Structure formats: C-alpha cells, structure tokens
Amino acid sequence: MQPSPSNSLGTTTTNRRHYLFSVASTLLTLAWLLPSPVLAAPPLPPTVTTVATTAQTSQEATGLAGSIRLMAQELENHLADADPQVGELADGLAVCSFVDLKKLTRTSSFGRYLAEQLMSEFQQRGYTVVEMRKTTSLMIQEKRGEYTLSRNPEDLNPSITAGAVLTGTYTLAGNNVLVNARIIDNRNSTMLTSSTLIFPRNQLVATLLADRASAQTGERDVVYMKRLEL
C-alpha cells in the first residue's frame, strides 16, 4: 500500500528541518573554531584629533613654563644675597635672549621665550627688571596699533643701566635640550648665580627651536651695544 500524500508531506518537512538544523550546527561549530576577525578601529573624526592635539600642546606649554619657573627659583636660591632691595640684584637686572652654545650669535624662538619668561619670573619675585627694548617714544599707526618695544638701536634709550644681566646657552642632546642660565655682574663680569636644567625636546620645543636667527655682524651692519655698567 502506498503512503498517503499527507504522510509524504510530513516526512519531507521533518527531513528539511533536520537538514536545516544540521547546517546551523555546522556553522556554529565553524564560528567557534575559526579565529574571530580583527576589526580595525575607525579613524578618529577631525574634531577629536584637533582636540587631542590642542590638549597635548597645552600640556607641553604648561610643562615648559613650569621648568622655567624652576630655573628662576634655582637662580634666586644660589644668590649670596637675594634681597631685591639691597642684595646683588638691587641695581637692576637686564635679561637677554639665550643663545646656541655652538654659535653664540645664534638664537631662536626658544631662546627668546626663555628670556621673556625669566623676565616675568624675576619681576614677580620683587626684583627690578630693566626692559632694554623700551623705546624713547611711542609709535602709533592707524589700524595697526601702538608700539613701544624695539630692537633697533636708534629707537632705544642709551642711558638705561643695569647692575647685572641674566643670560644663558642651550645645546641639543638627542631628545633633550640642555639649558645653562647665569646671572653676571656687569661691573666685573663675576658670575653671581647659575642653573642647569634639562628640557624635553617635545613637539612644542622643537617648533620653537626651528625658528633660528643669527645676529648680523661685520662692518656694513654695525650692532650698537648698550652700556649696562653703572
């Protein structure tokens, strides 16, 4: 006797279910045995990258300012008489750009920034800091601004004096910058105090070092020096 159509349909459905279950089991087994694919992290959007770069630059700038503050503290600590009113710096302190140790007539934005920060540090400590770049008059230009600082000797006051000068050198050493600072008595060239500090050569410092410039020397371009002795 032949099976009824209904029995044949039920058998076919059951076989199909067994087949699908077998395929699913095989796929699950393979998925468990085979290593999972490594998915690459999606690139950061430009906004996130910019924020990260800004945060790094801010952190490096804060670290640089902190190192300069430490150098100023060491210079002050090593003075024989650090009293701002009657001590070794009572007759005024002039601050000059730090220069490349390999070439003492070459500096950079790094050397100029060191000088700028040290001027602020000593002034905030109560010392008389002399601004040598102060012009004898104001220069006012429409839509540009008002100016009172200059490096042109013809615009400066030659009568400004200072009893001591703060200056220093820097040299590159791999991923670091070695900085030596000293304060010198202008009357006898005696070193009153000194400090040595190692700065990390991070991205900010490298950018400041890249902007180099040398002083012009020779008969055609005479550089007039201010008299600092009292």
Ranges of each domain in the chain: 59-133+159-214
Give the per-residue pLDDT at 14.
61
Q: Which residues of the chain have pLDDT under 50?
A: 9, 220, 222
Report the predicted TM-score, pTM, of the whole model to 2 decimal places.
0.70
CA distances from 104 to 20, 132, 168, 193, 217 (A): 84, 20, 10, 20, 12
Fold assignment, 59-133+159-214: Rossmann fold (3.40.50)
pLDDT for the residue 44: 58
First to last CA, the chain: 133
Confidence (pLDDT) at 88: 96
**Per-residue model confidence (pLDDT) at position 52:** 62
